[in-house]
Structure 1
Amino acid sequence: MAHHSLKSYMKDLARQYKVYFSLLIVIALVAGFFSVAVEYKIKEIIDSIASEYATNLGWLLFLFVLYKFLYHGMYFINRLLAIRYMPRILESSVLDIYRQTVKHSLHWFDSNLAGEISNKIFDFQNGITTLVNSSFRLLNVVASIIFALLFLAYVNSSTALVILGFIAVYTPVIAILLKKQLKYYQNTTTARQQVVGVVNDSVSNIFGVKVIGNLSAEKNRTVKPAIQKWRLWDRKTRQFDAFFVDNIDTLLVTAMTAIQIYLLAKLLQSGEITAGGFAFVTMVTLKIHTQLEGFLDTLLFSINPSIAQIRSSYSFIYTAVDVEDKPNAKTISESKGEISYSNVNFGYGQGVEPILKDFNLNIKPGERLGIVGTSGAGKTTLVKCLLRYFDVQSGTIKLDGQNIDEITQESLRQMLSVIPQDITMFHRSVMDNLKLAKPEAADEEIFEACRKARIHDDILRMPEGYNTVVGERGVKLSGGQRQRVAIARAILKDAPVLVLDEATSSLDTTTEHLIQESINDMLESSKATVIAIAHRLSTLKHMDRIIVMNRGQITESGTHDKLIAQGGIYKQLWDMQLI
């Protein structure tokens, strides 16, 4: 379900769980009534004892006990409802924001810290569930105050007017303070989420930090400034709470209590109120004081922080999606692998020189195309545009004659297998990482793919074989093993288009030869269209065609032998690698 604002999301949530929220309102109101009714029964018991004939004392005691049980019974029912509904709200809130998160482009994920994104997701869920629980407590407090005013008016209208006058002053003053405080909480929450992102990024890259031997520099350059910003906003929030909110609340409540006690003393002296009435008004006045403190505490430390968490997370996750499926986008289930780029222009942002300039390229079904060029020539950008990592500024990219922006992103990527230089692996077992390519694959099919990728024997030598957990990002595997797992995944997926993006560039010579043999075996048994980007030109010798890119355009095209004979850039690059 699409949401155009946080308000619309909350309305949809309220509609989805309207039965639960309606019952919470009823329970809060009933519990509020009985919380005051219990104390009114104490008034009646005192007045009964003070009278000459306490004939109804037993009945009053029975009602007191009954009301007390009913009051606590409302909270028990609330807990039963929470057991049924709160886990559902937890699940739906996490899934809602997760679904929105994964709609963002790959470029968006590259531009934001993974730890910060994860923290936003769970802060949103925590904010929603805390808001529901806190709103019930807040409503119960409000209900208790309203019923208290009604009972006070029945006992003595003057005492009710004192409370009403206090509320008339207290409410707008506290509302102004809370509005200001919410801004402090939101800034504190955002700063904390940024710290989580920075710390997660630092921990994720701890190998590089430690190997370089610059732990103190990393701490001082990134971690410490983020924490200091968090500390600054946390300090400002606490100062505002202590010097303004707490002190003004204490001043107003103390004044109200003093006035009420003075009035009660006068009323008792003049005989306008009974001893039970005096006790009741005193209890209710102190109760309202306690309720208002609870009201303020709930607002300050539960509802306001929850709203701040929700707003911060929502504004971050629900930003405009930069690469989005069109409403009428088609889902494709098969492809011949024919690809064409037509007058494609793309650059990273406005006002910068385009990476691809009026780029044109046609790749036939089943053709094996090699792409070479210096760094920054646009090789990887060309592939990222095909994957809809981002959308091109102008021109079209087509798959089997169909513009890729008219195809759903998920079904488009199902037609592509990508083996990048940096392999993505989950902190799960080898088997789970392999099944990512084909969840329904049988074990024997996976074993066969691994044999073809020449990784099967390596996996069997691992401590738990295919059930061995590979560590975060696959750190327990060598670079060559990760590459061969990626090749096995590509074999399992068997997509119509195979992209090799510098698949062997970061490996030693022996491992590179092993990986290249695995790739060659895969290509021999595959009819897929192949796009291979490589700095090592020897890996492209047997491609059907090789193109040379320079500054976003194709400058040379042909077979290996033809390009060598031309004596151009390709020949220069080849000669450099022979030295």
Structure 2
Amino acid sequence: MTDLHDDEDDNRPRTLTNSQVIAFMAGHWMGEPRRFVLIAVLMLASTACDLSIPWATRGLIDAVATPTSPTDKAWIAWASLSALYLAFYSLRSGMFRLSNGYYSRIMARMVTGAFGRVQAFSADWHASNFAGATVRRVSRAMWGYDSASDALLWMLTPTLIVLSGLAISIGLKWPAAGVFVAVLVVAFAIFNIVVSTHYIRPANLASTALDSQIGANLADAIGGNPVVKGFGAEAREEQRFSRHVDTWRAAQHKTWNAFNTVSWGQNLFLVVLQAGLTGQLVYAWSHGQATPGDVAFGITSFIVMAGYMRNFSEITRMLQKGLDDMVDVATYMRTEPQLADKADAKPFRGELGEVIFDRVTFGYENAARPLYQDFTLVVAPGERVALVGPTGAGKSTFVKLLQRLYDVQSGRILIDGQDIAHVAQGSLRRAIAVVPQDPALFHRTIAENISYARPEATEEEVILAAKRARAHDFIAGLPKGYDTLVGERGVKLSGGERQRVAIARAFLADAPILVLDEATSSLDVETERQVQAAMEELMVGRTTVVIAHRLSTIRGADRILVFEGGQLVEEGRHADLVARGGAYARLHAVTEAGA
């Protein structure tokens, strides 16, 4: 199983290089090739105007510095210079206007694609990664793309074109000065590439990882706010969060200092360029080898070049930070889901609910031995089976394998004669309705939570499902009824109310297989009776798998399966197993003693 960024070790270096992240960006640029080409043409045209300004300035200075020059020549030179400035700003404005919609669509595709890929990752991956950190990474990548694209396409590319073009222009008139400028430009580019890769990037990645940790810890503490309040631990959590923020602050301070150091080096190149270029031009003028217009050309060339080079520190910062903000999402998109559908996967089609575990061997990663070894079991259509046994015996694993949240190492699992490893996962899971011990509800309306099983369900079908789940009465008593928002994970509802909403959702799903995972263990007696009655109706005509520690809730099961260490040690009906005096009888005795 591929391990992406386990949050327990999130400060380790990322594996993707800058060039790989840029390739990821380029793939998005090519999503609209015509728009990209048009924007690039506008960028190149505006850069050409900027590159021509020193030449126009030279013509104007020569025209006004020569007493015998006609006045019309000066006005023509003035008009040419003014037209270049007008064209430059107009083309740049048009380029950015076209870029706005282009960028927003790419950012939308990027975050949507990242969300889809993260959803496709296995349950084990999600269990190993903080949701808050994942959210931070995905949302940060959008703005990382915005910054990196601006820096790379509309800032860095024109900078390199202008610096190279003016070096050539100067070299055509004064070869020695041209060589000097060219060497300095090449050295400047090499300096920036080296320090960005080997000096700035490591510091920036560390602070970016810690930024993700801030999101992770913030979400963790806020999500656990009832526990925090229950123990009066607000001050303790604030101190804990403050320590994380202080760690990030130190790393971010180091990153900013790295940028500042690089900026100082870039400015040193600028000083050398100014002194060397203007010094050579003054020397040429003093020896009659340059006109005032030539000197103005050189000075204007330096001013244009300096404007671009002076911004190079900010460009470097934007580009490197943008690339580092995207590296997580780029990694996600290059990583195949751990449990991908097979190439020949077909939609699951079945209505009976027959389940067969055929010589299944399965063990968790890093476990000393397999939990299941050549495990075989047949559950008949419509049969009610209960899974009991101590913690770690393999009950929950049974359900996870049934849903194909993990792949078996050998053997196969069949549902209605179909090997679940060769059917589309989404269609398989829609055929299995699960009512867990602690149902997870979305911060949406009650109606939306119930209809999540079948979004196209009508209002009447939603209400009918709620009535069958014994949920309609409490929903109708709420101020907004079915339009009531339930809060994050359903915190505005009681445990019994959440349970009945989950049962209503299962009714609406109308799946052939039903899994009840400790669905009543945390309820009071009166609520348990209501939920149990709803579940009894829900089980009718469905293959049902019940996981239970309270053995009183499974007396009516067609078959009780007793697990120990992944092995099926006993099976039978309640009365028979009690009379047998084995493992189930011991569990029953403990339960009765604690009742």
**TM-score, scaled to structure 2:** 0.91
Aligned equivalent of 1:429: 445
- Taking the aligned partners of 1:12 and 1:55, their CA distance within structure 2 comes to 52
Aligned equivalent of 1:195: 214
Aligned equivalent of 1:409: 425
Aligned equivalent of 2:282: 265
Per-residue deviation, residues 502-532 of structure 1 (Å, max 9, x unmatched)? 0011112221111111111222xx3110001
- Taking the aligned partners of 1:267 and 1:368, their CA distance within structure 2 comes to 98
Aligned equivalent of 1:570: 584
Question: Of 138, 155, 173, which residue of structure 1 is paired with 2:156?
Answer: 138
The answer as to 2:416 corresponding to 1:396 is: no
Aligned equivalent of 1:169: 187
CA contact (8 A) 1:25 1:139 kept: no
The answer as to 2:527 corresponding to 1:508 is: no
Secondary structure of the structure 1 residue equivalent to 2:453: coil
- Taking the aligned partners of 2:331 and 2:247, their CA distance within structure 1 comes to 20
Distance change in 2, residues 1:226/1:353 (3 Å): farther
The answer as to 2:203 corresponding to 1:184 is: yes
Tell which deviates more after alignment, 433-442 or 275-284: 275-284
Give the CA deviation at 1:9: 4.1
Tell which deviates more after alignment, 376-385 or 83-92: 83-92
Give the CA deviation at 1:543: 1.4
Give the CA deviation at 1:86: 1.6
Give the CA deviation at 1:568: 2.3
- Taking the aligned partners of 1:29 and 1:153, their CA distance within structure 2 comes to 22
Tell which deviates more after alignment, 81-90 or 4-13: 4-13
Give the CA deviation at 1:491: 0.4
Question: Of 68, 75, 87, which residue of structure 1 is paired with 2:85?
Answer: 68
CA contact (8 A) 1:28 1:143 kept: no
Question: Of 298, 304, 310, which residue of structure 2 is paired with 1:293?
Answer: 310
Secondary structure of the structure 2 residue equivalent to 1:518: helix
Per-residue deviation, residues 416-474 of structure 1 (Å, max 9, x unmatched)? 00000121111111111112111110001110110111111211222211111111111
- Taking the aligned partners of 1:406 and 1:357, their CA distance within structure 2 comes to 22
Tell which deviates more after alignment, 195-204 or 438-447: 195-204
- Taking the aligned partners of 2:186 and 2:165, their CA distance within structure 1 comes to 17
Tell which deviates more after alignment, 181-190 or 156-165: 156-165
Which amino acid counterpart does residue 186 of structure 1 have in structure 2? L
Tell which deviates more after alignment, 453-462 or 118-127: 118-127
CA contact (8 A) 1:322 1:390 kept: no
The answer as to 2:394 corresponding to 1:378 is: yes
Aligned equivalent of 1:538: 552
Secondary structure of the structure 1 residue equivalent to 2:276: helix
Superposition RMSD on alpha carbons, in Å? Answer: 2.2
Which amino acid counterpart does residue 217 of structure 2 have in structure 1? V
Runs of 5+ consecutive residues of structure 2 not aligned to the other structure:
1-15
Which amino acid counterpart does residue 256 of structure 2 have in structure 1? R
Question: Of 130, 137, 162, which residue of structure 2 is paired with 1:113?
Answer: 130
- Taking the aligned partners of 2:161 and 2:26, their CA distance within structure 1 comes to 23
Give the CA deviation at 1:284: 1.6
CA contact (8 A) 1:209 1:215 kept: yes
- Taking the aligned partners of 2:202 and 2:269, their CA distance within structure 1 comes to 24
Per-residue deviation, residues 215-269 of structure 1 (Å, max 9, x unmatched)? 4544556x455434433432332232233x1222222221221122222222222
Question: Of 555, 571, 575, which residue of structure 2 is paired with 1:561?
Answer: 575
Which amino acid counterpart does residue 16 of structure 1 have in structure 2? G
Give the CA deviation at 1:312: 3.1
CA contact (8 A) 1:190 1:312 kept: no
Which amino acid counterpart does residue 461 of structure 1 have in structure 2? G
Secondary structure of the structure 2 residue equivalent to 1:418: strand
Tell which deviates more after alignment, 478-487 or 203-212: 203-212
- Trace 1:337-376 onto structure 2 (pairs within 5 A): 337-376=353-392
CA contact (8 A) 2:266 2:312 kept: no
| Residue-pair matches, total | 571
Which amino acid counterpart does residue 304 of structure 1 have in structure 2? Q
Give the CA deviation at 1:124: 2.5
CA contact (8 A) 2:401 2:407 kept: yes
Aligned equivalent of 2:139: 122
Aligned equivalent of 1:310: 326
The answer as to 2:230 corresponding to 1:211 is: yes
Aligned equivalent of 1:20: 35
Per-residue deviation, residues 365-396 of structure 1 (Å, max 9, x unmatched)? 01111111122211111101111111122222
Aligned equivalent of 2:104: 87
Give the CA deviation at 1:535: 1.1
The answer as to 2:350 corresponding to 1:334 is: yes
CA contact (8 A) 1:33 1:147 kept: no
Which amino acid counterpart does residue 19 of structure 1 have in structure 2? R
Tell which deviates more after alignment, 302-311 or 6-15: 6-15
Runs of 5+ consecutive residues of structure 1 not aligned to the other structure:
none
CA contact (8 A) 2:137 2:329 kept: yes
- Taking the aligned partners of 1:211 and 1:378, their CA distance within structure 2 comes to 33
Secondary structure of the structure 2 residue equivalent to 1:16: coil
Aligned equivalent of 2:563: 549
Which amino acid counterpart does residue 164 of structure 1 have in structure 2? A
Which amino acid counterpart does residue 422 of structure 1 have in structure 2? D
Secondary structure of the structure 2 residue equivalent to 1:358: strand
Aligned equivalent of 2:257: 239
Which amino acid counterpart does residue 265 of structure 2 have in structure 1? I
- Taking the aligned partners of 1:186 and 1:316, their CA distance within structure 2 comes to 16
CA contact (8 A) 2:29 2:106 kept: no
- Taking the aligned partners of 1:288 and 1:83, their CA distance within structure 2 comes to 27
Distance change in 2, residues 1:318/1:460 (3 Å): farther
Aligned equivalent of 2:11: none
- Trace 1:30-109 onto structure 2 (pairs within 5 A): 30-52=45-67, 53=69, 54-109=71-126
Give the CA deviation at 1:178: 1.4
- Taking the aligned partners of 2:159 and 2:337, their CA distance within structure 1 comes to 41
CA contact (8 A) 2:513 2:542 kept: yes
Which amino acid counterpart does residue 197 of structure 2 have in structure 1? K
Identity %: 30
- Taking the aligned partners of 1:31 and 1:152, their CA distance within structure 2 comes to 20
Per-residue deviation, residues 254-300 of structure 1 (Å, max 9, x unmatched)? 1221122222222222232222322231122132122112233212x
Tell which deviates more after alignment, 460-469 or 443-452: 460-469
- Taking the aligned partners of 1:140 and 1:399, their CA distance within structure 2 comes to 61
Secondary structure of the structure 1 residue equivalent to 2:341: coil
CA contact (8 A) 2:144 2:326 kept: yes
Aligned equivalent of 2:7: none
Secondary structure of the structure 2 residue equivalent to 1:56: helix
- Taking the aligned partners of 2:430 and 2:339, their CA distance within structure 1 comes to 17
Secondary structure of the structure 1 residue equivalent to 2:30: helix
Give the CA deviation at 1:144: 2.1
CA contact (8 A) 2:382 2:541 kept: yes
**TM-score, scaled to structure 1:** 0.93
Secondary structure of the structure 2 residue equivalent to 1:334: coil
CA contact (8 A) 2:39 2:99 kept: no
Give the CA deviation at 1:549: 1.3
Per-residue deviation, residues 99-128 of structure 1 (Å, max 9, x unmatched)? 221111112111111111112222222222
CA contact (8 A) 2:111 2:142 kept: yes
CA contact (8 A) 2:350 2:416 kept: no
Tell which deviates more after alignment, 90-99 or 477-486: 90-99
Secondary structure of the structure 2 residue equivalent to 1:432: helix
Secondary structure of the structure 1 residue equivalent to 2:72: coil
- Taking the aligned partners of 1:318 and 1:263, their CA distance within structure 2 comes to 52
- Taking the aligned partners of 1:521 and 1:328, their CA distance within structure 2 comes to 37
